[in-house]
């Protein structure tokens, strides 16, 4: 089937070349990082994780969100997701690949990455995260590919995939829970030390991932003859709405606990992120942008008229995605490090090199996504009896 | 036991035992537990190493400088000259920042302004060890928390986990920034984490930690499990505090705060 990714319109090839160029730039800067060290980034002794690890965290959520299509389709026999579920599975594949790459570029000694498996350490959450992510990647590649292949020959998928599909459901939940445990179990990092962390992660994942999926479905519909259909998109938009409401609710729970209890250590990160602390407030505008986007998105999503209108729905989904990216793909990690263990404020801001490496990894993910979607869409066009040329 | 760790111990072993290849081979064969159980004749051993810092005896800026300089110079700790890349094993900060949450505005001025030496606490229940995915950070039987710089993947999970900010990461190659290299102690490479080791390389030679030695008696070091040790005597005779006890890591570094005397 992979050959379907090797033929395409000139637009397709321009897009691929563009992504390759971005990857190339990122790679050059990664080589620089390898020779100079992570000092090339904005990271410091006080803020020792930054953009890379927050992208990783955010993308684990995107990956886990495929389950929001798998559950209705396979467990509740919601047939309308039949066409779109493959898009969710392939999105998961691309997202997990990015996660693993972000972990790798964040390592000070990437050549030793395999030490995680050479010296398996069950008391370390990273060990479980590595196992969970690699397993989830494998599951989604196998499931996505086999179901698509059988669809191509208009045959039912082989019976052995069913158990794998069922397995992928708890597995998806596990990848994000384990990722939350990376943070939620650390003593002395008040911002992360909260039992609601895993729940909040899942809620934001089930809002952000499906929102991205709606955007992608609309792009696919415009660029190809494959139409995921209006109804599945509407169904997903309800998932986004509920998940986003849950996410905002969980966040407000945190705010209440921090400020009503009045414990300084719990209040400080929130103060740093939203109003600034001791005169430092680099993240304040971004965090408020995230709040405003979340509020705007909820207004558009909760109102049935704007949710049913695909134009406003698209705007709402974009707002959800950007809002969550800021919140989880940036603020959550930096906030955990500010103030530092000595109650001093050290700020963090990514450097250009760091940003370009980050873009490079995203471009690799988008390249994987493009190729996989190209295959899926070509198969769909074929089985729909449509012309394969474009 | 990995080749990496053996090599590491071999290096540590050579400098520690000062006995050339024979001793190194011994460690190579008998691994980590061997040096813990059977150190060289003159080596110092303990069931649980601990430190008591008597703040009453630290007075002038010179007192502090001697301590930190001693540690950083013998351990090849680089000086990058900027806070972002900073690597440090022992340093000072004020009471308010050393013991956040325990300050109050009516403390004696002398205590408010006094610099407190800070270093790795060699916690009994160390979160840095718990989170390390490669066992590069590990706790020895004598309570010392160590890291194997040849196994560390540089993930910095241990830095996020340490509530005491005790760990530093080599954001750049440290070697060009070491003022005067001590050939007897290994240098590190970029991309790994490091911190105070309670001077394991000196203990095996029968020497006290460098900071204790240079402290004019302000820093006592000894076996917490031995009721006759100096640290135990100080602990039973004085009121001491530890950093962030509420987190349950059980630090092995104790502070005698003293009164308002300068
Ligand atoms: S002070 Fe930090 S680095 Fe040292 S043992 Fe405790 S947790 Fe680990
Ligand atoms: S940075 Fe090194 S020592 Fe620290 S947790 Fe990672 S592998 Fe272990
Ligand atoms: S015990 Fe040794 S390594 Fe630790 S701070 Fe003192 S001199 Fe440095």
CATH of the domain at A344: 1.20.1630.10
Q: How far apart are CA A261 and CA A88, in angstroms?
A: 41
Give yes or no for a contact between B123 and B254, defined as CB atoms under 8 angstroms apart: no
With a 6 Å cutoff on the Cβ, whether B210 touches ligand 3 is yes
| Residue located nearest, by CA, to atom 5 of ligand 1 | B122
Number of neighbours of residue B7 by Cβ within 10 angstroms: 15
* pLDDT for res A333: 95
Q: How far apart are CA A246 and CA A294, in angstroms?
A: 12
Number of neighbours of residue B48 by Cβ within 10 angstroms: 18
Helix (H, G, I), strand (E, B) or coil at B122: coil
Quick check: is A389 in a domain?
no
Q: Which residues of A are less than 8 Å from B7 in CB distance?
A: none
Tokens of A108: 């000070």
Q: Which residues fall within 8 angstroms of residue A256, CB to CB, at 6 or more apart?
A: none
What stretch of H or E contains B119? strand B115-119
Atom of ligand 3 nearest to the CA of B120: 4
Helix (H, G, I), strand (E, B) or coil at A265: helix
**ipTM, two decimals:** 0.90
Q: Which residues fall within 8 angstroms of residue B227, CB to CB, at 6 or more apart?
A: none
Q: How far is CA B154 from CA A98, A257, B140, in A?
A: 19, 34, 21
Tokens of B229: 């040790």
Chain B 11-40, CB below 8 Å of chain A: which residues?
A: none
* pLDDT for res A66: 87
Burial (CB < 10 A; 0-12, 13-18, 19+), residue A243, is buried
* pLDDT for res B7: 54
Give yes or no for a contact between A320 and A211, defined as CB atoms under 8 angstroms apart: yes
* pLDDT for res B5: 52
Structural domain boundaries, residue A46: 2-382
* pLDDT for res A314: 96
In total, how many domains does chain A have? 1
* Beta-bridge mates of residue B254: B52
- Which ligand lies nearest the alpha carbon of B139? 1
Residues with CB under 6 A from ligand 1: B 120-123, 126-128, 145, 162, 164, 166-167, 195, 249
Tell me, yes or no, if B160 comes closer than 8 A to chain A by beta carbon: yes
Closest CA to A129 of A206, A181, A184: A181
Average pLDDT, chain B: 86
Q: How far is the alpha carbon of B102 from chain A, nearest alpha carbon, in Å?
A: 12
Position B25 pLDDT exceeds 70? no
What stretch of H or E contains B32? helix B20-37
Report phi then psi at B92, rounded to 5.
-130, 155
Given the structure tokens 């309670």, which residue do they identify? B198
Quick check: is A34 in a domain?
yes
Q: What is the DSSP letter of B80?
A: -
Angle of helix B3-17 versus helix B20-37 axis, rounded to 10: 100
Tokens of A72: 């209705």
Q: What is the pLDDT along chain A (390 residues), one digit of tens a residue?
A: 777 888 888 899 999 999 999 999 999 999 999 999 999 999 999 999 999 999 999 999 999 988 898 889 888 888 888 888 889 999 999 999 999 999 999 999 999 999 999 999 999 999 999 999 999 999 999 998 898 888 888 888 899 999 999 999 999 999 999 999 999 999 989 999 999 999 999 999 999 999 999 999 999 999 888 888 899 999 999 999 999 999 999 999 999 999 999 999 999 999 999 999 999 999 999 999 999 999 999 999 999 999 999 999 999 999 999 999 999 999 999 999 999 999 999 999 999 999 999 999 999 999 999 999 999 988 888 776 443 333
Quick check: is A155 in a domain?
yes
Count of alpha carbons within 13 angstroms of residue A379, beta-carbon side: 24
* pLDDT for res A4: 81
Q: Count contacts between A and B (CB, < 8 Å).
A: 146
Q: Which residues of B are less than 8 Å from A115 in CB distance?
A: 133-134, 136, 151, 153
Q: Which residues of A are less than 8 Å from B248 in CB distance?
A: 187
Q: How far apart are CA A341 and CA B105, in angstroms?
A: 20
Quick check: is A173 in a domain?
yes
Q: Which residues fall within 8 angstroms of residue B248, CB to CB, at 6 or more apart?
A: A187, B125
Number of neighbours of residue B160 by Cβ within 10 angstroms: 25
Quick check: is A387 in a domain?
no
Measured over all CA atoms, what is the biggest interatomic distance in chain B, rounded to whole angstroms? Answer: 60
Q: How far apart are CA B254 and CA B52, in angstroms?
A: 5
Tell me, yes or no, if B124 comes closer than 8 A to chain A by beta carbon: no
Residue A187 to residue B127, Cβ atoms within 8 A = yes
Report phi then psi at A242, rounded to 5.
-65, -40
CA of A121 to the centre of ligand 2 (A): 12
Pairing assessment for the beta strands B115-119 and B90-94 based on DSSP bridges = antiparallel
Q: Please state the domain extents for chain B.
A: 1-35, 42-256
Give yes or no for a contact between A50 and A348, defined as CB atoms under 8 angstroms apart: yes
Q: How far apart are CA B171 and CA B193, in angstroms?
A: 9
Q: What is the pLDDT of residues B132-191, one digit of tens each?
A: 999 999 999 999 999 999 999 999 999 999 999 999 999 999 999 999 999 999 999 999
Q: How far apart are CA A152 and CA A145, in angstroms?
A: 11
Q: How far apart are CA B47 and CA B58, in angstroms?
A: 28
Quick check: is A369 in a domain?
yes
* pLDDT for res A366: 97
Q: What is the DSSP letter of A309?
A: S
Measured over all CA atoms, what is the biggest interatomic distance in chain A, rounded to whole angstroms? Answer: 66
Q: Which residues fall within 8 angstroms of residue A38, CB to CB, at 6 or more apart?
A: A106, A108, B154, B169, B171, B190, B191
Helix (H, G, I), strand (E, B) or coil at B51: strand
Chain B 94-123, CB below 8 Å of chain A: which residues?
A: 96-98, 100-101
Q: How far is CA B84 from CA A44, A53, A104, A346, in A?
A: 5, 18, 22, 9
Quick check: is A194 in a domain?
yes
Q: What is the pLDDT of residues B111-123, one digit of tens each?
A: 999 999 999 999 9
Q: How far is the alpha carbon of A179 from chain B, nearest alpha carbon, in Å?
A: 13
Q: How far apart are CA B261 and CA A254, in angstroms?
A: 43
Judge if the upstream peptide bond of residue B61 is cis by omega within 30 degrees of 0: no
Q: How far is the alpha carbon of B203 from chain A, nearest alpha carbon, in Å?
A: 28
CATH code of the region B42-256: 3.30.70.20
For A119-133, A167-181, B26-40, B71-85, which range has the lowest pLDDT when averaged over its residues? B26-40
Q: Which residues of A are less than 8 Å from B249 in CB distance?
A: 187
Judge if the upstream peptide bond of residue B16 is cis by omega within 30 degrees of 0: no
Tell me the average pLDDT across B50-73: 95
Q: How far apart are CA B171 and CA A39, in angstroms?
A: 4
Q: How far is CA B4 from CA B39, B151, B252, in A?
A: 21, 6, 28
Angle, alpha carbons A23-A26-A28 (nearest 5°): 110
Closest CA to B252 of B160, B192, B135, B164: B164
* pLDDT for res B178: 95
Own/partner contacts of B38-45, CB < 8 Å, gap of 24 or more, are B39/B203, B39/B204, B40/B16, B40/B204, B40/B205, B40/B206, B42/B205, B42/B206, B43/B16, B43/B203, B43/B204, B43/B205, B43/B206, B44/B203, B44/B204, B44/B206, B44/B207, B44/B208, B45/B142, B45/B203
pTM (2 d.p.) = 0.90
Give yes or no for a contact between A99 and A133, defined as CB atoms under 8 angstroms apart: yes
Closest CA to A231 of A72, A16, A362: A72
What stretch of H or E contains B36? helix B20-37
Quick check: is A390 in a domain?
no
Atom of ligand 2 nearest to the CA of B148: 3
| Residue located nearest, by CA, to atom 6 of ligand 1 | B123
């Amino acid at each position: 089937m992979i050959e379907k990714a090797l033929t395409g319109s000139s637009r397709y090839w321009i897009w691929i070349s563009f992504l390759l160029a971005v990857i190339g730039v990122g790679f050059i800067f990664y080589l620089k990082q390898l020779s100079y060290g992570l000092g090339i980034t904005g990271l410091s002794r006080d803020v020792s994780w930054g953009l890379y690890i927050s992208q990783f965290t955010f993308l684990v959520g995107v990956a886990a969100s495929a389950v929001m299509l798998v559950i209705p389709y396979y467990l509740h026999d919601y047939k309308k997701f039949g066409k779109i579920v493959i898009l969710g599975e392939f999105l998961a594949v691309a997202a997990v690949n990015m996660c693993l790459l972000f972990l790798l570029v964040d390592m000070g000694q990437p050549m030793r990455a395999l030490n995680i498996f050479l010296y398996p350490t069950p008391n370390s959450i990273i060990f479980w995260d590595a196992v969970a992510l690699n397993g989830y990647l494998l599951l989604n590649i196998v499931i996505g590919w086999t179901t698509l292949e059988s669809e191509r020959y208009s045959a039912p998928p082989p019976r052995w995939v069913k158990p794998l599909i069922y397995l992928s459901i708890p597995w998806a939940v596990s990848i994000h829970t384990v990722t939350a445990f990376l943070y939620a179990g650390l003593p002395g990092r008040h911002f992360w030390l909260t039992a609601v962390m895993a729940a909040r992660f899942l809620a934001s994942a089930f809002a952000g991932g499906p929102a991205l999926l709606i955007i992608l479905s609309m792009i696919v519909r415009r660029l190809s003859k494959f139409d995921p259909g209006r109804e599945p998109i509407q169904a997903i938009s309800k998932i986004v709405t509920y998940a986003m409401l849950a996410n905002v609710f969980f966040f407000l729970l945190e705010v209440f606990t921090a400020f009503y209890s009045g414990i300084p250590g719990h209040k400080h990160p929130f103060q740093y992120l939203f109003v600034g602390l001791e005169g430092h407030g680099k993240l304040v505008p971004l965090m408020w942008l995230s709040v405003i986007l979340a509020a705007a998105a909820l207004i558009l999503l909760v109102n049935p008229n704007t949710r049913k209108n695909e134009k406003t729905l698209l705007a709402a989904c974009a707002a959800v995605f950007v809002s969550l990216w800021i919140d989880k793909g940036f603020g959550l990690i930096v906030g955990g490090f500010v103030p530092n263990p000595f109650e001093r404020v050290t700020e963090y801001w990514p450097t250009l090199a760091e940003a370009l490496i980050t873009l490079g990894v995203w471009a690799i993910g988008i390249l994987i996504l493009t190729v996989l979607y190209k295959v899926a869409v070509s198969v769909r066009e074929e089985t729909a009896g449509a012309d394969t040329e474009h | 036991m990995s080749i990496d760790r053996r090599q590491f111990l071999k290096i540590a072993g050579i400098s520690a035992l000062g006995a050339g290849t024979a001793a190194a081979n011994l460690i190579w064969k008998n691994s980590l537990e061997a040096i813990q159980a059977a150190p060289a004749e003159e080596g110092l051993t303990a069931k649980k190493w601990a430190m008591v810092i008597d703040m009453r005896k630290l007075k002038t800026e010179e007192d502090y400088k001697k301590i930190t300089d001693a540690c950083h110079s013998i351990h090849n700790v680089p000086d990058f000259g900027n806070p972002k890349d900073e690597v440090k094993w022992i340093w000072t900060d004020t009471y308010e920042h050393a013991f956040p949450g325990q300050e109050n505005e009516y403390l004696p001025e002398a205590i408010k302004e006094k610099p407190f030496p800070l270093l790795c606490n060699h916690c009994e229940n160390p979160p840095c060890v718990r989170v390390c995915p490669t066992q590069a950070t590990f706790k020895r039987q004598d309570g010392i928390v160590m890291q194997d710089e040849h196994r560390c993947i540089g993930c910095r999970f241990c830095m996020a986990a340490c509530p005491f900010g005790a760990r530093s990461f080599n954001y750049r190659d440290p070697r060009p920034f070491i003022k005067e290299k001590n050939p007897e102690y290994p240098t590190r490479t970029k991309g790994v984490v490091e911190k105070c080791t309670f001077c394991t390389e000196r203990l095996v030679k029968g020497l006290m930690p460098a900071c204790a030695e240079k402290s004019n008696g302000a820093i006592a070091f000894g076996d917490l499990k031995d009721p006759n040790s100096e640290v135990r005597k100080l602990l039973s005779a004085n009121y001491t505090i530890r950093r962030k006890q509420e987190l349950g890591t059980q630090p092995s570094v104790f502070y005698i705060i003293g009164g308002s005397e300068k």
